[in-house]
Amino acid sequence: MHEMSLVQGLLQQLRELASEHNTSRILKVTMVIGPLSGVVVDSFKFGFEVLTRQDELVQDAELEIVIPEVGYRCSACQNLQKTAGERPHQCAACGDTLLIAEEGNDLILQQVEME
Amino acid sequence: MCDACGCQTHTHDHDHGHGHSQTHDDSVIVEINRSLFAANDAMARSNREHFDEERIVVLNLISSPGSGKTTLLEHTIDRIGSEIKIGVIEGDIETERDAERIRAKGVPAIQLTTGGACHLDASMIHRGFHQLQKEPGGNSIDLLVIENVGNLVCPATFDLGEHTRVVLVSVPEGPDKPAKYPKAFTSSQLFLITKTDLLPYFDFEVAEARKEALSLNPSLQVMDFSATTGEGFEVWLDYLRELVREEKGK
Ligand SMILES: Nc1nc2c(ncn2[C@@H]2O[C@H](COP(=O)(O)OP(=O)(O)OP(=O)(O)O)[C@@H](O)[C@H]2O)c(=O)[nH]1
Ligand SMILES: [Mg+2]
Ligand SMILES: [Zn+2]
Ligand SMILES: [Zn+2]
Ligand SMILES: [Zn+2]
Ligand SMILES: [Zn+2]
């Protein structure tokens, strides 16, 4: 729902980076979108496509999206279980059911390729 | 940015600590690794410092539309408004209606109409807080309650600088909200099950909802009550009294 405003924030950062590096063309942008970040990947892609259209700096930029695994920490034995799929029902090490998600919350601009 | 209060300006510092590498065809790859939530999070931190300086406890209420947030506020004001000075920031997409309901109780309230946006962010709260302070009574509050836009998805992603995030689910909505919207529950400290007077009419097990929520977030506090009958409400009021006491003692 709010992906458009997030993409606007991204473009703002890209403009700052471009002027800092004296470039007028960005070729590729790599984003890490955590599965628990609340960001809908398709909406983010759509927002990127729409908002980059009229902006020469990013017009031809490719968007690469990396989806990291989520880490679940067992509250009993501290074992960390990483998965790209469903939330595990119990700890693989001790069987406890209280698992706390530790990673996968963030939306990160990882890498920019520019001319 | 903030002449009104003299609070520190919120600049964004980009240190040049990132690495560069050259690729084959003369393009440059720059490693950034910066969160897009960083700007909001920085503003949220500055809001929280600001609230602490003024010894104001801040709650952020999030829920689906119609879970009973405004009604909860009205009844809370009726019950402890003479003991604790409350102020309210209402987030709504279009109307002023919720803020009017709160003002009718004699409590300072402002409405942030988000113009279609689906969540409040930290900079809206910063502006809203200064606006609230200009309202009659807005300069001496103990407890600020932010009623977020009715939506369980994105409000969970944006820190506003609150001390406590409160997620509400009403009995008619059913007990499966934690499973469907985990982030609202993992990022909150308190879970309120509202409209318990309707339990006889709906297939809703309080124990089941509680268990689901706790399996996602073991440190979540859970309360259930009906604002209209007042059943269970005293626990919530005591919770607020304690929060205000703690903040004053900081
Ligand atoms: N039976 C019953 N109804 C309630 C209770 N609390 C609220 N309601 C009703 O639920 C409806 C919605 O209440 P609001 O307080 O406006 O809900 P809200 O969460 O502020 O709604 P939005 O701001 O639109 O998201 C109203 O018709 C209230 O009268 C309760 O404890 N019991
Ligand atoms: Mg309301
Ligand atoms: Zn949103
Ligand atoms: Zn374990
Ligand atoms: Zn300020
Ligand atoms: Zn650089």
- Whether A87 maps to a domain, the answer reads no
Minimum Cα–Cα distance from B117: chain A residue: A2
Q: How far is CA B99 from CA B26, B64, B92, B121, B155, in A?
A: 57, 18, 9, 18, 19
Domains of chain B listed by start with CATH number: 55-249 (3.40.50.300)
pLDDT given for residue B11 in this prediction: 39
- Whether A91 maps to a domain, the answer reads no
The rounded distance, in Å, linking the Cα atoms of A17 and A41 is: 23
- This prediction's pTM: 0.86
Q: The domain spanning residue A58 has which CATH number?
A: 3.30.2320.50
Q: Which region among A78-92, B8-22, B111-125 has the lowest average model confidence (pLDDT)?
A: B8-22
Q: Are A109 and B32 an interchain contact pair (Cβ–Cβ within 8 Å)?
A: yes
Q: How many domains does chain A have?
A: 1
Task: Return averaged pLDDT per consecutive 10 residues of chain A, 115 residues in all.
Answer: 86 93 94 90 95 93 95 92 87 89 89 94
- Whether A63 maps to a domain, the answer reads yes
Element (H, E) at B31: strand B28-35
Nearest protein CA to atom 10 of ligand 1, as residue: B68
| Residue B13 pLDDT greater than 60, yes or no | no
Q: Which region among A89-98, B16-25, B66-75, B90-99 has the lowest average model confidence (pLDDT)?
A: B16-25
- Whether A31 maps to a domain, the answer reads yes
pLDDT given for residue B1 in this prediction: 37
Q: Sorting pLDDT into bands at 50, 70 and 90, what band is B8?
A: very low
| Residue B223 pLDDT greater than 90, yes or no | yes
- Whether A39 maps to a domain, the answer reads yes
- Whether A95 maps to a domain, the answer reads no
- Whether A85 maps to a domain, the answer reads no
- CB interface of A with B, residues 17-56, below 8 Å: 17, 20-21, 23, 27, 36-39
The rounded distance, in Å, linking the Cα atoms of B59 and A13 is: 31
Token digits for B172?
Answer: 């008619």
pLDDT given for residue B16 in this prediction: 60
Range of the domain at A109: 2-69+104-114
Q: Is A97 part of the contact surface with chain B (CB cutoff 8 Å)?
A: yes
Residues sharing a CB contact under 8 Å with residue B81, sequence separation 6 or more, in sequence order: B105, B106, B107
Q: Identity (one letter) of the amino acid at B150?
A: G
Each residue of B146-165: pLDDT tens digit?
Answer: 999 998 988 998 999 999 99
Average pLDDT of B201-222? 93
Each residue of B49-85: pLDDT tens digit?
Answer: 999 999 999 999 999 999 999 999 999 999 999 999 9
